[in-house]
Amino acid sequence: MALLLIFGFILLKSAFGDDACPSGKFTESGQCCSVCPAGFGVLVECGKEDTKCTPCPKGTFSASADLGRCLPCSQCPNGVPTLAACFATEDAQCECDIGYFYFRTYGLCTPCSKCKRGEGVVRECGPKGDTLCQVCVAGSFTEEYSHAKACQFCTQCTDGEVEIRPCMPNSDTLCMDKKLHVLSRDSPNLNGVEEVTPGGGSSAPGTPKLTPQDDKGSSSNNILIYVSVLAAVVLGLLVYVAYKCWRSCKQKKALSKARAAELGASPEGEKLQSDSGVFLDSQSLQDNQPSKGTKRDSKQDTRLYINLPPQRQEEVERLLQEGAGRGWRHLGQALGYEAEQLDLFGRGEAPARTLLSNWALKEGSTLGLLCSALARIERPDVVSTLSCPTQGVSVV
């Protein structure tokens, strides 16, 4: 009898699919195993009897209904504020910078992923986790990589347009006006005179046809029109490029003046920068002035990297990102990061900045330790930029 019941449940499962049993597992008697709701974990797994659940104790959570056990709550790393505390049905939420999310597996802030063309954002990257993408369904599309743009509805051609290319997940519908006669030209016979065809026959008066001479004239006119339109487009592009270059130069000048004002640069320093192209970092000169009768080793430099001026941090990141030879990945290995963590940093647009920002939040992130790591990977140029005590004045 038991074998018959089991056989019957197997037939029901094959007929109705997994929807008949959400858990997809059955007891020895053929009963569908129950799933534990959110906030509960499995106490006794399903086997001879049905699943037994228990509420998640303090410090653990279960975010969805499944057959798993309660998971320990996440602890936000140093320097990352806690946005929401952990409770039975949801993990703690850590407030990373814009464009980053908290990666629970490694316990650090990781750059957000971008959805590909043909995929739309279902959930934006943030405290809830990484960007969640989904392929655009029929009638919708996306044409760019984005971490915040959802699928858009396809364009519908109007009655006065003809569809040239249908809408696809990665491109919108392409329509063209029906009135654009590119390959033909109407030329009605206004005089009502019978025209002669190239074969010698005649046509009825008033029939709109073209003689060989008119056909040649029509082709010439079309060519002139195309050339004129093409010249106008090229001229417009040149004007647009010139305008963008002028505006970019203007913005760069304004940004340079703003930075000089923020740094409190003197007129003599501005003149030196404009005349010779060399900029002396006044803060670096002050930091590198040794006190009388004292000598410090780079390993004893207890200054924190996070307290460096922003412009010097940007210069260090640029050298590690663009410099030849050993770069930010070798530095990460020297600082004790694993290869998987460095691969996560490499997914972002500025991995050197991500590495140093993450390292600066750790306890004991001093310039002495950083300079020692840079010396081990043979990057004296970056050590000089950091203005370690044994390197002298930093000239950029």
Which of residues 43, 72, 101 is at a domain's end? Answer: 72
pLDDT at 24: 83
For residue 200, name the pLDDT band (cuts at 50, 70, 90).
Answer: very low
Q: What is the span of the domain harbouring residue 351?
A: 282-386
Q: What is d(CA 207, CA 209) in angstroms, rounded to the nearest whole number?
A: 6
* CATH number, domain containing residue 16: 2.10.50.10
Q: Cβ contacts of residue 52 below 8 Å, gap of 6+?
A: 42, 43, 44
| CA 195 distance to own-chain centroid | 66
Q: Residues 149-161: what's their mean pLDDT?
A: 91
The pLDDT assigned to 187 comes to 45
pLDDT of residue 115: 94
**pLDDT recorded at residue 283:** 42
Instruction: Please report whether residue 213 resides in a domain.
Output: no
Alpha carbon distance 393, 281 (integer Å): 9
Question: Into how many domains does the chain fold?
Answer: 2
Whether residue 274 is contained in a domain is answered as no
Picking from 23-27, 184-188, 287-291, which range would have the lowest pLDDT averaged per residue? 287-291
Judged by phi (left if over 0) then psi (alpha if -120 to 50, else beta), residue 6 lies in alpha
Assigned domain for 324 exists = yes
% of residues, the chain, pLDDT over 90: 19
Residue 265 has pLDDT above 50, yes or no: no
CATH number at 351 reads 1.10.533.10
Boundary of a domain, candidates 50, 72, 94: 72
In a domain, 238, yes or no: no
Residue 229 lies in a domain: no
How buried is residue 269: exposed, middle or buried, by Cβ count under 10 Å (0-12/13-18/19+)?
Answer: middle
pLDDT at 218 over 70: no
* Average pLDDT of the residues in 286-293: 39
HSE at residue 140, side-chain half, CA atoms within 13 A, is: 12
Neighbours of 120 (CB within 10 A): 20
Domain for residue 243, yes or no? no
Residue 74 has pLDDT above 60, yes or no: yes
Asked if residue 272 belongs to a domain, the reply is no
Q: Is residue 218 part of a domain?
A: no
Sign of CA dihedral 379, 381, 386, 387: positive
Residue finishing a domain among 47, 72, 97:
72
pLDDT given at position 127:
83
| Percent of the chain residues topping a pLDDT of 70 | 70
